[in-house]
Amino acid sequence: MKINTKKWLNFLFVAYCLFMLWVTLFSRKPSTHRFELSIFWSFRKLFSGHPDGVKDIIQYLDNILFFIPFGFLLPFKKNSKQVAHIAFVASVVIELSQYVFALGLAETDDVISNVLGGLIGFWIYRLTKKYEEEK
């Protein structure tokens, strides 16, 4: 029996999206409506010597890592611009939902790091496809 790779990857993408919704929305308890629109505020905290600077940068890196599977598994990707647009929309929907339902800090930096993670995932996908084609 041959495994249909495309169907398997589509299944993994749907499972990953459900996991992503669980982590970013459904597993959180409502608190207060909070947002941070300043860009790269966590880097400024780090470079100014703020005690939470390192923790905030780790969170930034976590967001990049969190979206790598999104870009890798996205079933309808043709180029990095398309992946960036889809990752941007998905991230904005998550951040707006977090704000509307008071489920954490909605921030511009999360959108930036999520798009970057999605692009890294897409580039890893492209490298693996290129490697497979050369075999």
Amino acid 12: pLDDT: 95
Q: What string of pLDDT tens digits covers the 135 residues of the chain?
A: 456 888 898 999 999 999 999 999 999 999 999 999 999 988 998 899 988 989 999 999 999 999 999 999 998 888 999 999 999 999 999 999 999 999 999 999 999 999 999 999 999 999 998 888 887
Amino acid 62: pLDDT: 97
Amino acid 100: pLDDT: 96
The residue assigned the tokens 């999104």 is: 70
Q: What is this structure's pTM?
A: 0.91
Handedness of CA 60, 12, 100, 77 (dihedral sign): positive
Amino acid 116: pLDDT: 98
The residue assigned the tokens 């982590």 is: 23
Amino acid 133: pLDDT: 84
One-letter amino acid of 89: V
Of 94, 99, 97, 101, the closest CA to residue 118 belongs to 94
Amino acid 36: pLDDT: 92
Write the CB contacts of 122 (distance below 8 Å, at least 6 apart in sequence).
71, 72, 74, 77, 80, 83
Amino acid 132: pLDDT: 83
Amino acid 32: pLDDT: 93
